[in-house]
Structures are given as structure tokens and as C-alpha cells.
Amino acid sequence: MPFTPFHMGPGILVKGPQQGGFSLITFGLAQVLIDLEPLYVIATGKDFLGVPGHLHGISHTLLGATLVGFIAGLLGRPLTHLGLRILGQSQFIPVPWRVIWWSAFFGTYSHLALDAVMHRDVEPFAPWSRWNPLVGLVSVGTLHLFCFATAALGTVIYFGLQFRRKVSVGS
């Protein structure tokens, strides 16, 4: 699912109840960074290791997702602060590092899990094993429905909690 909004669903569900305990900006950054390799493959026909036609290579392994998580974490805090300023939410700066790291690694590992269900070329345990225990666990339609439902539920929870806070502050 390169660069699809479906990957955001689980992050939105986590953001809903956690509010300031989760950075959706860092999570989204992790989604984009992990899919740079498939984008590169689409553009060049080869993965970062020069393997032709292997869309989901090293970035879609546990090792690769961990490396991408570190990169997303390092870039996530300044980009989250920039995003909050742009959105007029400067009162939430600084975002704690623990929030950034949690958001970055949840982003890469959830992305890997979703893609491992959908794509046969994902090898989460490479280079040690080509085994993918998640492939085909559910249909692609069910996977998309899960991602959409988690986004919808997370949105309802987020705004429900925001409304409850405003009502309790106003009373």
C-alpha cells in the first residue's frame, strides 16, 4: 500500500484515546519513510540492494522497520513541532521524546504488519528467514475495512474526548 491513507487508520485509533500521548505527525512520517523503498522500486525497477522487481525489500523487514523507526524518531520531533506551529497548536510544544519514539516505532511496525498481510513479497524476518506468517491472514478487502474502521473509531474517540473536555471546562 505505498503512500495510501489506509496505514493511518491504526495511528488515528491510538491517537483518539491517547491525545497528547501520541504524535500523529511522527506516525505519518514513519508511514512515508518506510515506503520510500517501494517508491524507489517503482521508479527504478530495482530495490536498494539492486534486486529487480522486489517491491518490498529491506525497509519491510523487522531490521529495516527498526532503522526507519529511528530515522522517523530523530526527524519526528522537529517536524511535529513545526506541524503544531503551522496548525496553531504551539501550546503543546515541546512534545516529549517518549511520545515521538512510541509514535515512530508504532508507525513502522504497524506498517510492516499491514503490508505483511497484504503483500506476498514482504519478508519480515529477512535476512534470517523468508517466512511470512501474516500473508493472506485476511482478505485485502477486510484489511482495508479494518484500516478504515480504525480511522473512523479513532476520530470519534478523539473528538468525543475533546467535546467532553470542553463541556467539563465550561461547567
* Annotated domain spans of the chain: 5-166
> Can you read off the three cell numbers belonging to residue 77?
520531533
Residue 70 CB-half CA count within 13 A: 6
pLDDT at residue number 1: 47
Calculate the alpha carbon distances from 40 to 45, 46, 112, 134, 159 in Å. Answer: 8, 7, 17, 24, 37
4-56 residue pLDDT tens? 789 999 999 999 999 999 999 999 999 999 999 999 999 999 887 787 878 89
pLDDT at residue number 54: 83
Q: What is the pTM of this model?
A: 0.94
